[in-house]
Amino acid sequence: MPKNPRFSPSSRSRATRNSARVIEVLAYPSVQLLDVTGPLQVFATANEQIVEAGGTSPYVLRVVAKGRACVTASSGLEIATELLPRAGSGLDTLLVAGGPGVDAAASDPVLLDWLRQRVKKARRVASVCTGAFLLGASGALDGRRAVTHWSYCAELARRFPAVRVEPDPIFVRDGAIWTSAGVTAGIDLALALVEEDLGRATALAVARYLVVFLKRPGGQAQFSEALSLQSAEDEFGALHRWISTHLAGDLSLSRLAREAGMSERSFSRHYARATGLTPLRAIERLRVEAARRMLSETRLPVKRISQRCGFGSEETMRRSFLRVLATAPQDYRRRFGS
């Protein structure tokens, strides 16, 4: 495939001033394939973009594992690996992948001892998904903020009470330690690492080439309200799609019931059973999500956004943001705006 012709050569300067950064991805049997390959592809594409612009590759990439030339991922695909480097050898970034095999890896005293020494040697350390359990077992997360896949956050907090687990963000940075949520969040984390190393222009070029979101800030929710409502897709999927295109219109209970082809009483009962929310609360969350996207992706005035999303006024939107996200719209934009 052709490289992105719009990549700016000016963004190569920060890469060429530095020697190549060694990035090690720790794998093990039954590792999650995308936890390894997603971040690797981000760094590999950064190399390609920099070289295409006339620079030299900023990263040396290695997948390492204990005592084997390859590991079999949970998907059944084999991944070629290098033997664990000497604990004292140089590296820049250590990235620990997650997967079903993480518990066995976290119970291996030899691997944990290597990991503890490697964490001390690395400039920064990151985990993808349940890779946080390996870092937790090594003690690297003690006293730090961390995240993992949303369905494992409670377990991470239970096993490692010294870790301050934050269940919502896509990724969390606490000093030199980065942790990310499930699977594809490793791509978001890797893009953030590339941006830190090589600048926003390079990260943007990589994201554009890989056809992924330019940037999902780390503090954004792991999953959207629209996604969380998909548990009711069979019964109310068509209604949710209709709501998403009529956020500024009449979304009264009677209008929703009519659209669903039910009486108001029957609709309220069935909807709450299917989603765990009242129709009023679901609409509020969908409006907040739509407004959140506009705040982070556009420069529309807050007043215009509140109108487009059906809040009617800035104050109503502010109260909903505080209730749903525990932050005000202006604060959200300052934190996550593009």
CA distance to 23, 120, 254, per residue, from 93 (Å): 5, 11, 56
Q: Under 8 Å CB-to-CB from 151, ≥6 apart: which residues?
A: 182
Tell me how far apart the alpha carbons of residues 116 and 121 are, in angstroms, rounded to a whole number. 9
Q: Is the dihedral of CA 164, 166, 170, 172 positive or negative?
A: negative
CA atoms within 13 A on the CB side of 214: 11
DSSP sequence for 223-272: S-HHHHGGGGHHHHHHHHHHHHT-TTS---HHHHHHHHTS-HHHHHHHHH
Q: Is 129 a catalytic residue?
A: yes
Which contiguous run of DSSP H or E holds residue 52? Answer: helix 33-52
Which residue matches tokens 């963004």?
11
Active-site choice (70, 129, 153, 309): 129
Of 238, 245, 113, 96, the closest CA to residue 179 belongs to: 96
Active site residues: 129
